[in-house]
Every structure is written in structure tokens, then in C-alpha cells.
Structure 1
Amino acid sequence: MTNPAERLVDLLDLERIEVDIFRGRSPEESLQRVFGGQVAGQALVAAGRTTDGDRPVHSLHAYFLRPGRPGVPIVYQVERVRDGRSFTTRRVTAVQQGRTIFNLTASFHRPEEAGFEHQLPPARIVPDPEELPTVAEEVREHLGVLPEALERMARRQPFDIRYVDRLRWTKDEVRDADPRSAVWMRAVGPLGDDPLVHTCALTYASDMTLLDAVRIPVEPLWGPRGFDMASLDHAMWFHRPFRADEWFLYDQESPIATGGRGLARGRIYDRSGQLLVSVVQEGLFRRLEG
């Protein structure tokens, strides 16, 4: 498999080792910890595999408890909390080498006719994704060359990401910047037609850039990091059907950062401006020594 989108679908295809127990691969990466979006996406797959499949995910709430080790399989244990007439609830515990690293509770809702509908429109009008450069193009333009590490990352990246606002490269540029960020995203290839795969793929993507909004007033996003950061918890509400291999706008903001933690909120829209998903995440930020 050379297509990163195919590799993502394969990564989300868990092995069932018991009725409610699944095993997920964790690729060997040069990272200190397993990417949080991977664990959340796989845990949601495990939850969905224990339902009838006729009820889409409508929300998830998760806690990152310990860093996962790259290259070591992760076991997902599912508890069937509730099977009601309208809602199904599942609790998932992710275990690696005998230690719990992640907890997720997911709720599934039988589709219903809406008694009423409303939504706030997107906060601003943004360029279409085709008008924006890729991250690799912006870095190459700024540095004159694409670093080998970033080139390798771009080849493995399952999502095309395009920042709405130009990247900032110096401390002066980030000083007094609003804690906001927006990106267009889509999978780099087709993801098939299973709605659960698209939901889990977008869950994976939702952890990729959300904490950018916390960092923007502090340091350049693509320069050397002055802080170690890690996701603490993650919540999502899925409002409408979508495909993660079609362009979606991820509008992100950070209302507060204090006490070593930063809170970020995200709203995901389709190209017509319909709100698809709402996201909230808190991250831990610790200044690096030296």
C-alpha cells in the first residue's frame, strides 16, 4: 500500500480477538508517543463494531491517560453500556502492555426527523482550498527547500491540509496574534463508502491541528517548539453526514490558556457552509528546558 488514505483505512480495520475485544496496529514511528487521533479513531471503530450499524455516532468523549508506545499493538475492550430504543452507548478502554492509556465513551443515535433546525454561519468567508498552497509548498517557498523530514511526513500524511492564513515564521509575527486558526482538509484518496470509516477518519484528523490555535500567539507553528504538548481530553458532536475524503473547513479557536493547559474549540463545515461537527479539546503545555 502506497496511498496514505489506504493505509489509514487499513489502520482503522481492527482485528476482533473476542466478542467485544479488538486489537489495533500502532505503526513504528519516530515519535515519542502514539498519535492521539489514531487511538481515538481506532477506539471509535471498536465501539461501532459492537452496534447494529443503523445508528450513526452522534457524540464521543475521551480522555488521554498515558502516552502510547509506537510499534506496540493496542487492545480495545468495549463495554455495552446501553442499547435503547433511540440511543446506543459504548465505553471503550484502550490497553497497551497491560496499562490503560485511553478511555472513550461513544453515543449512537437512531436518525430522527428534526422538529426544527438552526445553525450559526461560519465566522468568516475564506478562500477555496484550491486557491491555497499545501504546507509543503509554503515551507518550500519560505526556506527555498523542503527539509527531508517534512518531505517524508508529507508522503505519509493521510490528509491534505491547507492553512487559510499564511504561516508565521518569526516571534514578531506571532506576537499579539489572535488565538485562531482555520484549515481546509480532506483525505488524500478515497476512503470507501462505510459511514463509520469516514467518521473515524475525521476523528483521526480532528486531533491533527486543533491545538494550533493555542500556540499561535506564542510561537510559529512550523518552527522549533518551545513547548512539549499533549492532548488531555477530546469531545466531538456529529451533526450531519459527511465524507472525510471531500474538502471540509476546520475553524479553530482557543478561548483560554492558563495553568499549563490550553482549551481549543473547533467547528467543521462543508463547502456549502453547513456545520458538520463540533469539537472541544484541552491540551497540556510545558515549556521545554534549554
Structure 2
Amino acid sequence: MKNLQLIAILTILMISTSNIKADKWDLACQAWTFNRFTLTETLEEMEKLGIKYIELFPNQKIAADDNRTTHFSMPDKQIAELKAMLKKHSIKVKSYGVISPKKEKEWKQLFEFAKKMGIKTIVSEPVQELLPMIDGLCMEYKIRVAIHNHPDPTRYWNPEIVLKALEGRSKYMGACTDVGHWTRSGLDATECLKKLEGRVFEIHMKDVNRTDKEGHAVVWGEGVIDWTKVFGELKRQKFKGKFVIEHEYNWEKPVPDLKKNVAFFNAKTK
């Protein structure tokens, strides 16, 4: 009997642990947060912060003594070196952007780069006329494109515009939603997420101090966004994507704010 009870307890614990792991949300950092720094410095700081995932942006300088950048046109030798850098710091790259090539040739080159790097999502604000071609590349490479929103009056500032662009597109096309930019455009972040249900690939995380274009990023929980509602809505949607820190403030010394953001995220999502 005791053995049976022990087995039952262990089974429950295993199931509970599995559920926790399955529901755990991952936190990434958009390298743009460190755009005053090199990629080498960025990876060092991210490792200290315990952030395991990065979203690269196209033109970050590699190192102080290396004028090469993270642009997708890099040769295979540099791709191998970039992979080694990431591995050294135990950081994985799952997304890349914001990048919006204007020509089909460049889009193909971008997808080839993503394939070689193991990047699963390209974040973009693509020209709408190119969407059919881009969707074709998505299906060919099995790589997603997430349409990103900057504030009004940029191309995709309103989720209704994003939804229109996604009509008839494959499952590989969705949205990278920036809740801070929505808020700075006078929109309610939670209501915007509801409209894009099922198409949200990742979240660009920023809190802001105002609901207009003059607003700027602040530490999460110290701004005007209702994070209880945001997280609650994403939980309802069974969101499985990544939360990506994009802290566009205190450019020269972002780490203190990032520490607070990480602590806030961990407390809210545990």
C-alpha cells in the first residue's frame, strides 16, 4: 500500500512539473535595447541578467575592434563566428528584425540567412505589395514573418491594418505586437491583443509613461499599461510565443532598468 501511495505522489509531482514547464513563458531581449553597445557587450550583459534568448537587429556592430555588423548579408564564415559567440554565452537567437527589404532578391537572401542561423521568426513592416511573395517564401522555408507595429502614423500602427494584411495568408504569417507603441497611439493593448488572437507570434515588451506620442519607455509596472489585463488575455489565448524586452530609454545605461523588468516579469508570470 505504501509503495502504491508513493507511486501516486510521484506521478502527481511529475504531472505538475510538466504543466509548469509547458506553461512557462520565455523572456528574450531585442538587441536594439543595446544599440549604443556592440553585440559582444550585449551578450555579456544579457548573460549576467539571465536572459537566454535574443532578437538580433540588422546593423549592430559586432565588437569594438570589429566593424562588421549583424546584417543579414554577412558571409557564411561570419555566420559561423556569430553562432560561436551566441553559444559562448548560452544565448539562442530565435528572431531577427525589424527588417523590411524592398526587393525580392533581398528577401530571399534574408530567408537564407535565417535558415542558416536557425532563426524561426523574421520581424518586419513589409511593403504590402510584397506580401504574397513574402508568404511564398515563408511556406518554402518554413520560417515565420511577424508584422510589427510602430506608433501612428506608421504602416501597421493599428491591429485592424495588420488583420487586413494577414487575410488569406498562411500560418507562417502573423504579428509581432508592441504593446507600448499601441499605447502611445492611444490604443488599449489588451483590446488590440484580442483582435489579433491566434496570430500573435511574439510580444515586444515595453511600458510607457503616457498614452500619446510624447510617451517614452519606463520600467514595467511603473507606467500606464495594465499588465494584469495583458497577461490575463495572453493566458486566455494560450500564448506560446516569446516576450521580447525592447527598452527604448536610458540608452547609455539600460541594465538597471532591465534588472527591474526581469524581476517584474518573473514575479508576474511565475
TM-score (norm 1): 0.23
| TM-score for the superposition, normalised by structure 2 | 0.24
Write 1 or 2 for the structure with the bigger share of helix.
2
